[in-house]
Amino acid sequence: MSDGANGQILNVTDLHTYFPIKSRGLIPRTIGQVKAVDGIDLALASSETLGLVGESGSGKTTAARSILRLVEPTSGQIELDGQDITHLNSSAMVKVRRKAQMIFQDPYTALNPRHTVGGIIAAPFRVQKVEPPGGVRAAVMELMERVGLNPEHFNRYPNEFSGGQRQRIGIARAIALRPRLIVCDEPVSALDVSIQAQILNLLKDLQREFGIAYLFVAHDLSVVRQVSHRVAVMYLGHIVETASQEVIYAAPLHPYTHSLLSAIPIPDPAQQKKRNRILLQGDLPSPINPPSGCVFRTRCFQAQEKCAAEIPPLVELEPGHKVACHFPIAKPPESVVVSTTEEDEAVMAARRDSGPVDSGAMPH
């Protein structure tokens, strides 16, 4: 296996994924578009983890699925291991899936309840027609052992396992063919904290052992920090800031990143009470009708007139640190509360009425 250009496993350029909104009636017409992913670039090297964070409706899950072509991207280019997979047909994609696998959020629905665990983990061998040395059964049992499952439970069904164990089954299935990339979509958010840590450690160990690259999609910034080398922050279909893990968490420049970090309560009561708080008002605007200019400006404490007029490009302000903001800021003002005045309420109301705003309306 050879790496692509610059030793990269994954190279995503200008990816757009729009979902058409159809009118109801006899002959549905496209009356609008949900701009779930609106032009993002991503790159990932082997043994590297890129954390993709954002709130619900930010487009992070759609982005992840588009990269594996589980959702058809509208435009852009996806290069996996030096091969352009953007327009491959489905039979060619089957081969690609040997190199790129996915782990899902909900360990309860991602596994077919009528198949045994052994059958589930062996599925990639069957689909790809791979005969591992020593036979499929031995390979599956080895995988189970590797992810911390008892190989004797080969013939059990998923409902006999706890949430954490089911996620281990999903991981065993994903690593069966030694993929180069695994897209992890909220892999631990359905798990209890004591189990989360087990799974995060397992993912790290597997990366070390097999050199897997992870695209790690999650809303929990502390989890993302634990596993990521680099982090990209998404808001309303755009990447607003990306940098190394250390920089994102210690020295962010985008007002949204500041707000996100300050919104997460830290498990230390004395520190938590002393912290700066930036309290964003309202919810994410509708991705059908995003704000003009900078998508974050409607909730931003830095917003000025320019932000409504011009879209801020994602520019490299420091080596490896890119920010899409007209007014990046290293240290936000103390305890910002973007206050809700009458005027803001009117703006918010107008925004909320401009379409199905609920993040629940977003196709995932």
Partner 1 sequence: MIGVEEVEGRAQHSPERPFLSVENLAVQFKTEDGIVQAVDGVSFSLERGKTLAIVGESGSGKSVTAQAVMGLVKAMGGIVSGEIWLDGQELNGLSPAEVQALRGAEMAMIFQDPMSSLHPFYRIGDQIVEAIMAHRKVGKGAARKEALEMLKHVGIPAAERRIDAFPHQLSGGMRQRVMIAMALINSPQLLIADEPTTALDVTVQAQILELIRRLQGEFGTTVIMITHDLGVVADVADDVAVMYAARIVEQAPTSETYYHAQMPYTLGLLASIPRMDRGQQDRLDPIPGNPPSPIHLPPGCVFQPRCKYWEQVPESAGHCKTDRPELLASGAGHSVRCLLPTDARRQISQEVLQSLRGEG
Partner 2 sequence: MAGYVVRRVVSMTLLLFLLTLTVFFLFNMMPADPARLTCGKACSPAIIEANRHHLELDIPPIEQYQRFVGGIFFGRTFSKDTPRPIECEAPCLGYSFLRNTEVLTLIARAAPVTFWLAIGGFLTWMLIGLSLGIVSALTRGRWVDRTIMGIALVGYSLPSFFIGLVLIFFVILDWNLLPFPQWTTPDKDLGRFLQTMILPWITIATLYAAFYMRLTRNQVLEVFGEDYIRTARAKGLPERVVVLKHALRAGLTPIVTAAGLDLAGLLGGAIITENIYSLPGLGSLSIGAVLASDLPVITGITLVTASLIIFANLVVDLLYAVVDPRVRVG
Under the rule (CB under 8 A), what is the footprint of partner 2?
24-26
Residue-by-residue DSSP string for 149-207: --GGGGG--GGGS-HHHHHHHHHHHHHTT--SEEEEESTTTTS-HHHHHHHHHHHHHHH
How many CB atoms neighbour CB 317 within 10 A?
14
By beta-carbon proximity to partner 2, the closer residue of 26 and 270 is: 26
CB of 272 to partner 1, least distance (A): 5
DSSP class of residue 82? T
The entry of partner 2, partner 1, none near residue 261 (CB within 5 to 8 angstroms by kind) is partner 1
Q: What is the CA radius of gyration of the chain?
A: 22
Query: Which token pair is 223?
Result: 């989890």
By beta-carbon proximity to partner 1, the closer residue of 177 and 260 is: 260
By beta-carbon proximity to partner 1, the closer residue of 137 and 225 is: 225
Give CA–CA dist 118/293, Å, rounded. Answer: 52
**Strands laid side by side in the 230-235 sheet:** 100-103, 181-185, 213-218, 49-53, 230-235, 238-244, 321-323, 315-318
The entry of partner 2, partner 1, none near residue 83 (CB within 5 to 8 angstroms by kind) is none
CB of 53 to partner 2, least distance (A): 29
By beta-carbon proximity to partner 2, the closer residue of 24 and 114 is: 24
Query: Which token pair is 182?
Result: 């695994």
Q: Which residues contact 98 (CB under 8 A, 6 or more apart)?
A: 124, 128, 130, 177, 179
The entry of partner 2, partner 1, none near residue 266 (CB within 5 to 8 angstroms by kind) is partner 1
Angle at alpha carbon of residue 260, lines to 322 and 345, rounded to 5°: 110
- Tracing tokens 């087990």 back to the chain, one arrives at 198
The entry of partner 1, partner 2, none near residue 349 (CB within 5 to 8 angstroms by kind) is partner 1
By beta-carbon proximity to partner 2, the closer residue of 25 and 113 is: 25
The entry of partner 1, partner 2, none near residue 346 (CB within 5 to 8 angstroms by kind) is partner 1
CB of 362 to partner 2, least distance (A): 16
The entry of partner 1, partner 2, none near residue 26 (CB within 5 to 8 angstroms by kind) is partner 2
Give CA–CA dist 238/227, Å, rounded. Answer: 22
Query: Count of residues for the chain?
Result: 364
Q: Which residues bind to partner 1, rule: CB under 8 A? A: 55-56, 162, 164-165, 192-198, 200-201, 204, 219, 221-223, 225-226, 245-246, 249, 259-272, 277, 279-284, 340, 344-346, 348-349, 352, 357-360
The entry of partner 1, partner 2, none near residue 24 (CB within 5 to 8 angstroms by kind) is partner 2
By beta-carbon proximity to partner 2, the closer residue of 23 and 292 is: 23
CB of 277 to partner 1, least distance (A): 7
* Pick from 171, 97, 177: nearest CA to 139: 177
Look at residue 102 and give its three-state secondary structure: strand
By beta-carbon proximity to partner 1, the closer residue of 263 and 309 is: 263
